[in-house]
Amino acid sequence: MSSFQDLISGETPVLVDFFAEWCGPCKMMAPALQAFAQEQAGKLKVIKVDVDKNPAAAAQFQISGVPTLILFHQGKMLWRKSGALPLHLLNQEILPQLPV
């Protein structure tokens, strides 16, 4: 099993969705995030981290509200935003951050 650090340290950019099962905005954003992941398949990976089940990861990145999205490439944070985003904003905000 890979560690969280291993997951975010590869060549492929990784968008991490810090969420909670009880979070309404997280549930509202889930379909947009799923569509984004499908559209960007091969260009980036999307992983979901439940803050209640992974408090160490949440603490490491100082997650104070969910949903919080963080884009990593080779272990470095490229972009971060808290709050639910619709699909067009995911595209608009994240795609320019991706390495070419």
- Asked about 26 being catalytic, the answer comes back as yes
Candidate list 20, 26, 29, 90, residue with the active-site label: 26
Report whether 61 contacts 31 (CB < 8 A): no
* CA-to-CA separations, 5 to 1, 16, 41, 75, in angstroms, rounded: 12, 12, 21, 7
Burial of 66 by CB count in 10 Å (0-12 exposed, 13-18 middle, 19+ buried)? buried
Candidate list 14, 23, 69, 94, residue with the active-site label: 23
- Asked about 92 being catalytic, the answer comes back as no
Question: Could you list the active site residues?
Answer: 23, 26
